[in-house]
Amino acid sequence: MAINRRTFLKAAGLTTLAGVAGHAAMELLAPGALEASGPSKVGEYPEALTAKRWAMLIDTEKFTTAQVYQKCIDACHVLHNVPHIPGDQEIKWLWTDSFKHAFPDQQHALVPDRVKNQPFMVLCNHCDNPPCVRVCPTKATFKRDDGIVMMDMHRCIGCRYCMAGCPYGARSFNFWDPRPFIENIDPYYPTRMKGVVEKCTFCEDRLAKGQLPACVEASEGALIFGDLANEDSEVRRVLRERYSLRRKPSLGTNPHVFYLI
Ligand code: SF4
Ligand code: SF4
């Protein structure tokens, strides 16, 4: 049966909406509320950092100045040759958004002013149930056993179904050859080409070398990264002690980026 792009996107959207049933429209995770499980990931290199399920915590109380946000964004974008393209065709792996846009289903009159007014760091949520993966016709985007949602640029045909499928706007499309828009190309990280989609990778390349994600390293403690499946990990300890939010929990994507509030 022939299926055009409009029909496909409509079907993908309906599939996403179908996942809504049975999920709460609002979520505030109490300390210690979350458990995770999954198969072990064996690293390729002896020094590699490995986990059953990687997750990131964003401590919103520690993002107190514009510099903290910018340091994290610069660390990510410089390291990964993310081009600086002004306007609505920008490429972004890590950026800021308002509480209103980042958490549209968690608005109410009693949200504290600090939370309501401060910018929030946003990125790919490395969802457990990622609609972007479900709709990709070439399997160019896929989820690893340790939860990282990856892109294979060589398989990406630029259809942008994954962008339509992601409810977080976490993916960017290269409308142009990005290379002229990169100030200093880092020869150790591959540049992309016109016509492919890209996004945050949880720094899988750094993890493989035994390093934490670049944004985490630059954040001076405002970002915490670790194995959610390990109850002795720092991420689990902090989630036992602090309240946290996740973005758009009603969609059933099960994001693995947590906002400590
Ligand atoms: S945030 Fe978007 S791009 Fe990232 S895994 Fe979830 S659905 Fe996919
Ligand atoms: S985890 Fe790595 S790729 Fe993702 S936002 Fe942080 S620095 Fe960028």
pLDDT band at 232 (very low <50, low <70, confident <90, very high): very high
Q: pLDDT value at position 108? A: 87
Cβ 81 under 6 angstroms from ligand 2 = no
Atom of ligand 1 nearest to the CA of 141: 8
Q: Average of pLDDT values for 102-124? A: 91
Region 104-112 average pLDDT: 86
Average pLDDT of the residues of the chain: 87
pLDDT at 15 over 80: no
Residue-level pLDDT at 27:
63
- What is the 14 CA–ligand 2 centroid distance (Å)? 30
Residue 88's pLDDT band (boundaries 50, 70, 90)? confident
User: What pLDDT sits at residue 110?
Assistant: 83
Residue 40 has pLDDT above 50, yes or no: no
**Token pair in block for residue 161:** 């179904």
pLDDT band at 173 (very low <50, low <70, confident <90, very high): very high
The pLDDT of 122-150, averaged and rounded, is: 98
Q: Where are the alpha helices (DSSP H) in the chain?
A: 5-18, 66-79, 99-102, 113-117, 131-135, 161-165, 204-207, 214-218, 234-241
Centre of ligand 1 to C-alpha 125, Å, is: 6
In the predicted model, what is the mean pLDDT of residues 118-143? 98
Q: Which residues contact 64 (CB under 8 A, 6 or more apart)?
A: none
Separation of 29 CA from ligand 1 center, angstroms?
Answer: 20
Q: How far is the CA of 80 from the centre of ligand 2 (A)?
A: 9
Instruction: Calculate mean pLDDT across residues 26-53.
Output: 65
Higher pLDDT, 76 or 37: 76
Q: What pLDDT does residue 115 have?
A: 87
State yes or no: pLDDT of 236 exceeds 70: yes
Task: Give me the pLDDT at residue 106, please.
Answer: 84
Task: Collapse the DSSP code of 62 into the 3-class scheme (helix H, G, I; strand E, B; otherwise coil) and give the result.
Answer: helix
Whole-number pLDDT of residue 7: 42
- pLDDT band of residue 42 (cuts 50, 70, 90) is very low
Q: Which ligand is nearest to the CA of 75?
A: 2
The percent of residues above 70 in pLDDT, for the chain, comes to 83
Ligand 2 atom showing the smallest separation from residue 223 Cα: 6
pLDDT of residue 13: 39
Residue minimizing CA distance to atom 1 of ligand 2? 202
Cβ of 93 less than 6 Å from ligand 2: yes
pLDDT at position 35 over 50: no
pLDDT in tens, 147-157: 999 999 999 99
Q: Which residues sit opposite 54 in a β-bridge?
A: 227
Q: How far is CA 141 from CA 99, 158, 171, 235, in A?
A: 28, 12, 11, 26
| pLDDT at position 18 over 80 | no
Kindly state if the Cβ of 149 falls inside 6 Å of ligand 2: no
Amino acid 185 reads I
Provide the pLDDT for residue 19. Answer: 36
Q: Report if pTM > 0.85.
A: no
